[in-house]
Amino acid sequence: MSNDLEGNLDERLSRIEHELERQRAGLGLLGVRPCSQCGIFYQRATPGALFSCGELVCFNCIQQWWLDHCPKLNINDRPKIESELCRWLMNHHQAELIQRSDKLPSPEQLRIKVVVGCEACNSEGKIHSGKKCAQCDGRGTVWVVVRVPGFQANL
C-alpha cells in the first residue's frame, strides 16, 4: 500500500509540474517573464522592468545580482555589461553617475549603489594625453546610484 501511495503522489506531482510548465509557457507567449532571482513575473514590454544580460533581473534584485555576478564576469565581457547596466539604471530608474566619493549621498539616501568602469577613459584613470581623467577623478571607476524616493540630488 505504501508503494501505491508513493506512486500516486509521484503522478500527482508530475501532473502539477507539467501544468505549471504549461502556465509558464503561456505567460511567456503573453510577454510575461520572471526575474531569474526572485521569480516575480514582469511584463517584458514594460521599459526598465527587467535587465537582460543572459538572464533577466528585476530592479529590486539588481544590486545583489551585480554583487554576486560581477566577480565572475569575464574581463572582456565586463565593460559591456557594466555599460548596459549603467544605461538601464539611468534610462529607466533615474540613476546618477557620481565621480567623487565626497559627492556620494549618505547610505540612508541610497536604494542602489554600484561601481562601474569609467567609459571616458576605458577604466584606466587617464586620458590619451596621460592626464588624470576628469570623469572618474583618475580612479578608472564611477558610482552609479539610485536614490530612495524623496531624496533629491544636491546640485
Q: pLDDT digit string (tens) for 16-65?
A: 888 877 777 666 666 778 999 999 999 878 889 999 988 999 999 999 99
More confident residue, 28 or 142: 142
Determine how many CB atoms are found less than 10 A away from the CB of residue 111. 17
**24-44: b or e for each residue (b if 16 or more CB lie within 10 Å)?**
eeeeeeeebbbbbbeeebbee
Residue 130 DSSP code:
S
Contact 42, 31 (CB under 8 A): no
Mean of all residue pLDDT scores within the chain: 86
Question: Chain-centre distance of CA 37, in angstroms?
Answer: 10
- What integer pLDDT is reported at residue 1 of this predicted model? 47
d(CA 107, CA 74): 30
Q: In angstroms, what CA-CA distances link 25 with 11, 18, 22, 32, 85?
A: 21, 11, 5, 9, 27
